[in-house]
Structure 1
């Protein structure tokens, strides 16, 4: 049996952006609101020079939007959206793909396929500005299912070694798709 862990949204960049966006949104909201009531809530920013209409109201709007976005990002971190594992079990002849989702009906997404349903492991390589380097599981009549972490792409050597390792372990063929 082989298990690959998928990190999901609990990575340094997610923590960084969630914090920066949330704190920035709170700052914008507080300064915009301060311009409305003419009281400085933040001692290091003088909001008396800011007119509520149009600057203050725009700051309140952008601050509110950023607070919602930052909160959403923190919720994805707390629930580890996208995290999970890929289990390749040769004894039971199954492949199990498990991912975390949002709370509710689909909080735990679990896909199980028999080894006979798998056609191949595919590597997608697209170079350029919007480059991609991904490994997919090619399932008969189901299409391609991603097997990798989202985020920082692997180097070509790491990608190929990982795909070769999975294909060799399962005893199935490996295909490379190049889109330039």
Structure 2
């Protein structure tokens, strides 16, 4: 989502709270819970899952391995749910022509560096660069080339625009707003 006025441009960046992340976290939780239940059923010799008789799987080695994979899956699922809860990667890009300041803000993981803030002057922006890679895993990522800091990506790499034209349009609008040249690679 983008908000613009005459002197200010704000790009809101979505973080981890996407439908695909919710689906993966939920499916991983259910699958790993199933593995843990099968491993526990084989250990106890009781039928914890109605469609699965515990006599079919012996605890050592199959039940033990299934329990291990289930516990590992629960940890990964917990990690995904935490990134969704904390909305890691969300933030905004603020370009203020009046003040001559650019501020890039992102939320990170809890701790000392939970807030990731990059601030620099607009006069340090050398160009608005767009990297376009076509092929099986196509990538279209806009960057800002900053004097002394290199290239800074403006959006997440998995948020691909649907067409090359859309990213070029966004890059052209931003370059016009910032009054910097465009580079396409």
Q: Same fold by TM (over 0.5)?
A: yes
Shift of 1:47: 2.5
Shift of 1:37: 0.8
User: Of the candidates 97, 107, 118, which is equivalent to residue 100 of structure 1?
Assistant: 107
Counterparts of residues 109-128 of structure 1 (less than 5 Å):
109-128=116-135
Aligned length, in residue pairs: 177
Tell me the SS of whatever aligns to 1:82.
Answer: coil
In structure 2, runs of 5+ residues without a counterpart are 1-7
- 1:35 is the counterpart of 2:9: no
- Tell me how large the CA RMSD over aligned residues is: 1.0
Greater relative contact order (CA < 8 Å, ≥ 6 in sequence): 1
Moved >2 Å (runs of 4+): 44-48, 149-152
Instruction: Tell me the equivalent position of 2:97.
Output: 90
In structure 1, runs of 5+ residues without a counterpart are none
Instruction: Tell me the equivalent position of 1:64.
Output: 71
- 1:139 is the counterpart of 2:143: no
Shift of 1:128: 1.5
Report the TM-score when normalising by structure 2. 0.92
Shift of 1:116: 1.0
Q: Give the whole-Å Cα distance in 1 for the aligned partners of 2:82 and 2:103.
A: 26
User: Of the candidates 146, 167, 175, which is equivalent to residue 175 of structure 2?
Assistant: 167
Instruction: Please give the per-residue CA displacement for 1:108-156, whole angstroms capped at 9, x wherever unaligned.
Output: 1010110011111100011122321100011111111110134241021
Q: Give the whole-Å Cα distance in 2 for the aligned partners of 1:84 and 1:150.
A: 15
Shift of 1:45: 2.4
